[in-house]
Amino acid sequence: MNWQIPRLAPGEDFPPASRALPALSPFPGLLAAGGRLDAETLERAYRAGIFPWFNPGEPILWWSTDPRMVLQPQDLRVHRSLRQSARRWMRNLPSRLTLDADFPGVMRQCGAQRESTGTWISPSMLAAYTELHHRGMAHSFELWEGKTLRAGLYGVCIGRMFYGESMFTDVTDGSKILLMALCGFCLRNAIAMIDCQQQTAHLASLGATPIPRARFLEHVAQATARAPVTAWQYDWPTFQTDCARWL
């Protein structure tokens, strides 16, 4: 079998996502290599159902997996222990729940927490996503204890489509509480699907399910064409209202 992928020049268009390597290949979902890692290219990629994922020292690699793991916000599974953790944090006076208070800090912490096993969050990745954040298309949720950032989650939002990227925590259930906040925010703002990219048992335990790439791409085309969310703010009272179904 021929498992070759195209090499992109900077600014070159992506091939259709349907041309990504199939499930039986050595790298299922790999679509292309090369190109440029900047805000413009990232926006084009996400609008086409494509995301970057590569380790330091590797060329830029672009992926579109099939099936695609997604979470519909109303399907989030919140177990009793997580409900208890969320309630404790809401009662914890030094705690704060914020949105976009420290996007670069969240990305750095996500990378630092994975240094022992390898991280794809390189300085170039940080710079590209931070620029996308400045353009209003990348966002972070933060959990604070006083002035200390305890957990974070970040992703890309274009129109009414949210693409989850990474999260970190140094407290029990911190990142799961932020996932609750993200799902509550999505329900508030008519965001019907969160892209989780790849299948894992952890994501499945939280309610995410795989869907065919063709169905995913159809939803992306519709959702990214809608008007963008304008109110990017969050706090504990809003969390309590939005997440009442789970609390």
- Beta carbons of 160 and 182 less than 8 angstroms apart: no
- Determine, yes or no, domain membership for 208: yes
Q: Is residue 247 part of a domain?
A: no
Q: Do 122 and 210 fall into the same domain?
A: yes
pTM for this prediction: 0.95
43 and 148, same structural domain?
A: no
Do the Cβ atoms of 195 and 161 come closer than 8 Å?
A: yes
Whether 26 and 83 map to the same domain: the answer is no
Please tell me whether residues 123 and 156 are part of one structural domain: yes
Residues 75 and 58 in one domain: no
Tokens matching residue 131: 């620029």
Q: What is the pLDDT along the chain (247 residues), one digit of tens a residue?
A: 678 999 999 999 999 999 999 989 999 999 999 999 999 999 999 999 999 999 888 899 999 999 999 999 999 999 999 999 999 999 988 999 999 999 999 999 999 865 555 567 889 999 999 999 999 999 999 999 999 999 999 999 999 999 999 999 999 999 999 999 999 999 999 999 999 998 899 999 999 999 999 999 999 999 999 999 999 999 999 999 999 999 9
Q: How many domains does the chain have?
A: 2
Identify whether residues 130 and 207 lie together within a single domain. Answer: yes
Q: Give me the CATH number covering residue 18.
A: 3.30.70.3550
Q: What is the pLDDT of residue 43?
A: 98
Count of CA atoms in the C-beta half-sphere (13 A) of 49: 30
- The whole domain housing 54 covers 7-65
Q: Are residues 89 and 146 in contact, defined by beta-carbon separation less than 8 angstroms?
A: no
Please indicate, yes or no, whether residues 43 and 151 belong to a single structural domain of this protein.
Answer: no
As given in the structure block, the two tokens for residue 199 are: 């299948």
Residue 19 lies in a domain: yes
178 part of a folded domain:
yes
Do 39 and 74 lie in a common domain? Answer: no
* 239 phi, psi to nearest 5 deg: -55, -45
Euclidean distance between CA atoms 180 and 45, whole angstroms: 27
**Under 8 Å CB-to-CB from 156, ≥6 apart: which residues?**
42, 46, 129, 132, 137, 138, 139, 162, 163, 165
Q: State residue 41's pLDDT score.
A: 98
148 lies in the same domain as 58: no
* Residue (of 219, 186, 180, 174) closest to 68 by Cα position: 219
Helix-helix angle 123-134:39-47, to 10 degrees: 80
Q: List, edge to edge, every strand of the sheet that includes 30-34.
A: 7-8, 30-34, 61-63, 51-52
CATH number assigned to the domain comprising residue 179: 3.40.630.70
Q: Is residue 1 part of a domain?
A: no
Q: Which residues contact 117 (CB under 8 A, 6 or more apart)?
A: none
Shared-domain flag, residues 213 and 159: yes
